[in-house]
Chain A
Amino acid sequence: MFAEGVVVKTEYFGKILLPVGFLLLVLGIWQLTDAILEIKPIILPNPLEIAKESFGRARELLQATSVTAMAACIGFAISIILGTVLALVFSASRLARQAVYPYMILLQTVPIVAIAPLVVIWFGGGLPSMIVIVTTISVFPIITNVTTGLTTVDDGLIDLMNLYQANRAQVLFKLQLPNAVPYLLAGARVAAGLTIVGAIVGEYMAGHDINHRGLGYYIFMSSQNFQTEILYASILLSTLLGVAMVGFVSLLGKTLLKRWTYQVQS
């Protein structure tokens, strides 16, 4: 009991107190340096100025965060569905896999900022283009991971399904798809981080409508107008959004994947 309590306290210290303490230290040094060196706010505003400006415009910044989050979530959901469907095609057809899969890998290397203008030409400005850009950037990890999960099944389990004369649908639903779940979640974790990048790039490239101004708009406008406090606040919110997305998928994965491991619990 005593040992358990000590372990919990050590974990709490290591995982929460230590990083929070370090952050406070950095903010303190930042604030102090700014005060001593009298750096112009346009170059480096101090943390208190950023906080003051952010709280003053909290409502519009939160609204912008929700717009970016919406584009990211819709694009992410489409990526999961589209990526899984394409992976199913690649796993079912060797011909399709051999013909198309290499290009899917190749497409991953094309920078999103190079594709984004094309997307805007095809889909117009605003939310639809943002969603397409988010989907484009986040779909590839899903395709590659799920294809791997569907095609790398334990030979013994395939033998078992053959022994029991399982049909193709049974093999897919009872073996291949469950086997691909850890791979899907690993791909989703990578994709989740990319969705915010896609959403911000999308806002940069595809613009916005008057009712839907996302964080990308605020980053762009504040940098143009030298509103450095808002720029920092927008960057911070984008980062937190990315962390929240990755955190959610990781938590979901951790919960679901408990079943998928053979590790014996003590």
Chain B
Amino acid sequence: MSTPLKTSREAITIEHLDVQFDDTSVLQDVSLNVKQGEWLSIVGPSGCGKSTLLRVISRLTSASAGRMTALFRTPAFVFQDPTLMPWRTVQDNVRLAMELEGTPLKEQVTATRSAVEAVGLEESDLDKYPRQLSGGMRMRVSLARAMVTQPDLLLLDEPFAALDEILREQLNQLVHEIWRQRQMTTLFVTHNVTEAVYLGGRVIVMNSDGQLVNDRTIDLPNERVPSLKTTSGFIKQVVDVSECLQKVLS
């Protein structure tokens, strides 16, 4: 298994970013650097602007002030909901981005099969419609759709929050494995501190005013296995981030 490529090159540089919706300030003076190939976990209370930060980075939302430089060719976004088109089959959903780009059909088919296989779905699932899939399978399709274009930036906005604990852990592990193999810059929004520390190489904490209040590097081996969660090193780092989050909430 290859080690993620962590160059000194910044994939995303954000300086003094503000986002306002009408008169409400959602993000305030956020400055952040994310290196290429890095996994950055973002935690904070509900409504603190975590998702907005991802939307600004993916250019789905415009900033009101500040500067952002993001070096990526192909972004991929996994939303909280699977956001699948119910009238399209699994394979048609997965290859949507390539279809819009005008990629030759043969390439689309090959890439789709590979992406579907990578997320643990079977070939027999390719012609199924979303209504025929369970919640977990739909999320896998959403993940395959994100992965099919070989993105260099992956944005995960609480992608598995609605799933049960066991499935959620399975999918977290799966995404982390894909990240280790493909080395794309990954930003992961979550409410779960344990999840943030377990998956991230770095964790940032935001407060309810939309400010970045803590930024720490996670000192854990690159390969994340479930047994890691019982180690004192892991627990200490979870406690540290939790305490920081508690301060933000109090």
Chain B residues near A81 (CB-CB < 8 A): none
- Nearest CB on A from B93, distance (A): 10
With CB as the reference atom, state the residue of chain B lying closest to A167: B100
Known contacts A156-B79, A159-B77, A259-B131; is-contact A166 B100 (Cβ 8 Å): yes
Chain B residues near A264 (CB-CB < 8 A): 131-134
Chain B residues numbered 87-113 whose CB sits less than 8 Å from any CB in chain A: 87-88, 96-97, 99-101
B60-A260 in contact (CB<8A): no
Chain A residues numbered 226-247 whose CB sits less than 8 Å from any CB in chain B: none
A178 on the B face (CB < 8 A)? yes
Chain A residues near B76 (CB-CB < 8 A): 163
A32 on the B face (CB < 8 A)? no
Give the size range of A's interface with the partner: 20 to 34
Chain B residues near A260 (CB-CB < 8 A): 86-87
How many residues on the B side are at the interface (Cβ–Cβ under 8 A)?
24
With CB as the reference atom, state the residue of chain A lying closest to B101: A164
B83-A154 in contact (CB<8A): yes
B83-A160 in contact (CB<8A): yes
B85-A178 in contact (CB<8A): yes
- Nearest CB on A from B206, distance (A): 21
B129 on the A face (CB < 8 A)? yes
A162-B133 in contact (CB<8A): no
A163-B58 in contact (CB<8A): yes
Alpha-carbon separation in the docked complex, A174 to B86 (Å): 12
Known contacts A259-B129, A259-B131, A264-B131; is-contact A164 B100 (Cβ 8 Å): yes
Alpha-carbon separation in the docked complex, A261 to B133 (Å): 12
A95 on the B face (CB < 8 A)? no
Chain B residues near A265 (CB-CB < 8 A): 131-132
Chain A residues numbered 159-212 whose CB sits less than 8 Å from any CB in chain B: 159-166, 170, 174-175, 178, 181
Alpha-carbon separation in the docked complex, A174 to B101 (Å): 13
Chain A residues numbered 17-31 whose CB sits less than 8 Å from any CB in chain B: none
The one of A154, A164, A263 in contact with B97, judged by C-beta atoms closer than 8 angstroms, is A164
Alpha-carbon separation in the docked complex, A164 to B97 (Å): 6
B130 on the A face (CB < 8 A)? yes
The one of A164, A165, A170, A262 in contact with B86, judged by C-beta atoms closer than 8 angstroms, is A262
Chain B residues near A170 (CB-CB < 8 A): 100
Alpha-carbon separation in the docked complex, A160 to B87 (Å): 16
B86-A163 in contact (CB<8A): no
Chain A residues numbered 127-160 whose CB sits less than 8 Å from any CB in chain B: 154, 156-157, 159-160
- Nearest CB on B from A144, distance (A): 22
B75 on the A face (CB < 8 A)? yes
- Nearest CB on A from B22, distance (A): 18
With CB as the reference atom, state the residue of chain A lying closest to B96: A164
Alpha-carbon separation in the docked complex, A157 to B131 (Å): 16
Alpha-carbon separation in the docked complex, A260 to B85 (Å): 8
The one of B75, B132, B134 in contact with A163, judged by C-beta atoms closer than 8 angstroms, is B75
Chain B residues near A154 (CB-CB < 8 A): 83
B195 on the A face (CB < 8 A)? no
Alpha-carbon separation in the docked complex, A221 to B132 (Å): 55
Alpha-carbon separation in the docked complex, A174 to B96 (Å): 9
The one of A159, A258, A259, A262 in contact with B60, judged by C-beta atoms closer than 8 angstroms, is A159
B81 on the A face (CB < 8 A)? yes
Known contacts A162-B60, A163-B58, A265-B131; is-contact A157 B100 (Cβ 8 Å): no
Known contacts A262-B130, A264-B131, A265-B132; is-contact A157 B97 (Cβ 8 Å): no
Chain A residues near B131 (CB-CB < 8 A): 258-259, 261-265
With CB as the reference atom, state the residue of chain A lying closest to B61: A159
Known contacts A163-B60, A164-B97; is-contact A157 B83 (Cβ 8 Å): yes
With CB as the reference atom, state the residue of chain B lying closest to A165: B100
Alpha-carbon separation in the docked complex, A193 to B130 (Å): 32
- Since A156-B79, A159-B83, A259-B129 are in contact, a sample of 6 more A-B pairs with Cβ atoms closer than 8 Å, ordered by chain A residue number, is A154-B83, A160-B96, A165-B100, A178-B85, A259-B87, A259-B131
Can you identify 22 A-B contacts, CB atoms within 8 angstroms?
A159-B55, A159-B79, A159-B83, A160-B77, A163-B58, A163-B75, A164-B96, A164-B101, A170-B100, A174-B85, A174-B99, A175-B85, A178-B88, A181-B87, A258-B129, A259-B87, A259-B129, A259-B131, A260-B86, A262-B130, A263-B131, A264-B132
Q: Mark A residues whose CB is within 8 Å of B.
A: 154, 156-157, 159-166, 170, 174-175, 178, 181, 258-265
